[in-house]
């Protein structure tokens, strides 16, 4: 059996399912955090991220449209399906994912599949992005999933 090289990955962010994004924003602001504007994903979820100076962040994640989320999960969107599974098993609040940085999500996806730990198909999407400092742009994301 060959040894494969293990590569340490930096923490990118933590996904924190929440029941009420507005209430979560109020709580985090009361604690002194600067929270980005609410941002909607194209598959029915929304977030309001807390960015840190080391480029890591917290992603409070809410269901903005149950219908869109359910349709996306049925179409194979692993991000939404895993969020729904977490909420079903654990409730609407918690820590559902640790997201690590990678230079190549597609390569990671292939590796996860070959090792039998894939958490679903890769997800690629873009959406408008506005950071707390006012900068705007288009955020593009490519995600691969390892199963728990």
Domain ranges of the chain: 11-143
Average of per-residue pLDDT across 42-52: 95
Helix ranges, 14-94 (H): 21-30, 66-74, 78-90
Question: Hey, which CATH number is domain 11-143, 3.30.450.20, 3.40.50.10260, 3.10.180.10, 1.20.1340.10?
Answer: 3.10.180.10
Percentage of residues of the chain with pLDDT beyond 90 = 78
Q: What is the pLDDT of residue 133?
A: 75
Q: Are 40 and 127 in contact (CB under 8 A)?
A: yes
Give the chain's mean pLDDT.
Answer: 91
Q: What is the pLDDT of residue 50?
A: 95
Q: What is the pLDDT of residue 29?
A: 95
Q: What is the pLDDT of residue 54?
A: 95
Helix ranges, 31-146 (H): 66-74, 78-90, 105-114
Average of per-residue pLDDT across 82-93: 96
CA dihedral sign, ordered 84, 29, 48, 106: negative
pTM of the model: 0.87
pLDDT tens for 99-145 read 999 999 999 999 999 999 999 999 998 888 776 677 888 888 899 99
Q: Are 35 and 133 in contact (CB under 8 A)?
A: no
Average of per-residue pLDDT across 64-73: 97
Average of per-residue pLDDT across 15-43: 95
Average of per-residue pLDDT across 25-50: 94
Q: What is the pLDDT of residue 8?
A: 86
């Amino acid at each position: 059996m060959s040894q494969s090289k293990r590569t340490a990955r930096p923490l990118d962010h933590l996904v924190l399912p929440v029941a009420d994004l507005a209430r979560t924003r109020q709580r985090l602001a009361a604690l002194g955090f600067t929270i980005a504007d609410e941002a909607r994903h194209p598959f029915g979820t929304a977030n309001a991220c807390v960015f840190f100076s080391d480029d890591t962040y917290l992603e409070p994640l809410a269901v903005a449209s149950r219908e869109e989320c359910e349709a996306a999960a049925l179409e194979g969107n692993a991000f939404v399906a895993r969020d729904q599974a977490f909420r079903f098993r654990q409730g609407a609040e918690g820590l559902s994912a640790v997201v690590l940085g990678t230079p190549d999500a597609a390569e990671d996806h292939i590796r996860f599949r070959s090792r039998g730990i894939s958490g679903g198909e890769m997800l690629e999407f873009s959406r408008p992005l506005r950071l707390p400092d006012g900068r705007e742009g288009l955020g593009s994301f490519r995600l691969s999933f390892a199963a728990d």
